[in-house]
Chain A
């Protein structure tokens, strides 16, 4: 199954997105990503977008495009914020202060996802995450 969620980029917007994705995961019998891991991914990605992309201040919306099978989950987070590749940071170079300021979220995303990718297309940041449970 697949779908698209559009939502205003604002504080705590991840809650509504998460509820929809968890309901779909339950209906699909998703095993590729545990519910607590999905919760963490959605919070980390959208908190970073709201805090750092500048899109929230402009009242913009974000989208999550999802494709889901029992053993595979694909998520594409899109926002019209300033160009920013969160995967460009070298995790080994993070200072303790940077870990406090959001770098840890990227570490967690990298660790939990089977594949991660970033593209800047049509004025939008696209963060692509795949989960296969491996």
Chain B
């Protein structure tokens, strides 16, 4: 299961598993974003390199306008993946509040 939706406050919420099979759908939605992009990852359970590629391509595109992608409410498992892949050096990342 994977869901991507735009919330009332403009944030984009990702939920479920963002794997190679779901990456094209996520890319399709994020390609339409123009301007500030905040991704709420509180309900994201899993991300593979295909999903990371979607985030990176979107970030690079939006960085051309000086904005980039902000990743918020990141749980500890997903945060570990971001660290392993070097995303912590590229993105603005906010951990989930409940994270110890």
Asked if B21 lies at the interface with its beta carbon under 8 angstroms from chain A, I say yes
Sorted nearest first, the 7 A-B pairs with minimum C-beta distance are A111-B84, A105-B49, A104-B49, A100-B53, A104-B85, A43-B48, A104-B52
Residues of A within 8 A of B50 (CB): 47
A108 to B19, CA, bound (A): 14
Question: Known: A36-B77, A99-B53. Contact between A47 and B20, CB under 8 A?
Answer: yes
SS class, residues of chain A in contact with chain B: helix
Q: Is the CB of A107 within 8 A of B56?
A: no
A108 to B21, CA, bound (A): 18
Asked if B57 lies at the interface with its beta carbon under 8 angstroms from chain A, I say yes
A108 to B49, CA, bound (A): 8
Partner of A107, one of B19, B20, B46, B86: B86
Question: Known: A36-B77, A96-B56. Contact between A43 and B20, CB under 8 A?
Answer: yes
Asked if A40 lies at the interface with its beta carbon under 8 angstroms from chain B, I say yes
Interface band, chain A: 10 to 19
Query: What sequence of 0s and 1s flags, for each residue 41-61 of chain B, a beta carbon within 8 Å of any chain A beta carbon?
Result: 000011011101100110010
A36-B77, A99-B53, A104-B49 given; 13 more Cβ-contact pairs under 8 Å: A36-B45, A36-B46, A40-B46, A43-B48, A99-B56, A100-B56, A104-B52, A104-B85, A105-B49, A107-B84, A108-B84, A108-B85, A112-B84
Asked if B81 lies at the interface with its beta carbon under 8 angstroms from chain A, I say yes
Q: Is the CB of A100 within 8 A of B57?
A: yes
A43 to B49, CA, bound (A): 9
Query: What sequence of 0s and 1s flags, for each residue 34-56 of chain A, a beta carbon within 8 Å of any chain B beta carbon?
Result: 00100110011001000000000
Question: Known: A100-B53, A104-B49, A105-B48. Contact between A43 and B19, CB under 8 A?
Answer: yes
Question: Known: A47-B20, A99-B53, A99-B56. Contact between A40 and B48, CB under 8 A?
Answer: yes
Asked if A70 lies at the interface with its beta carbon under 8 angstroms from chain B, I say no
Asked if A83 lies at the interface with its beta carbon under 8 angstroms from chain B, I say no
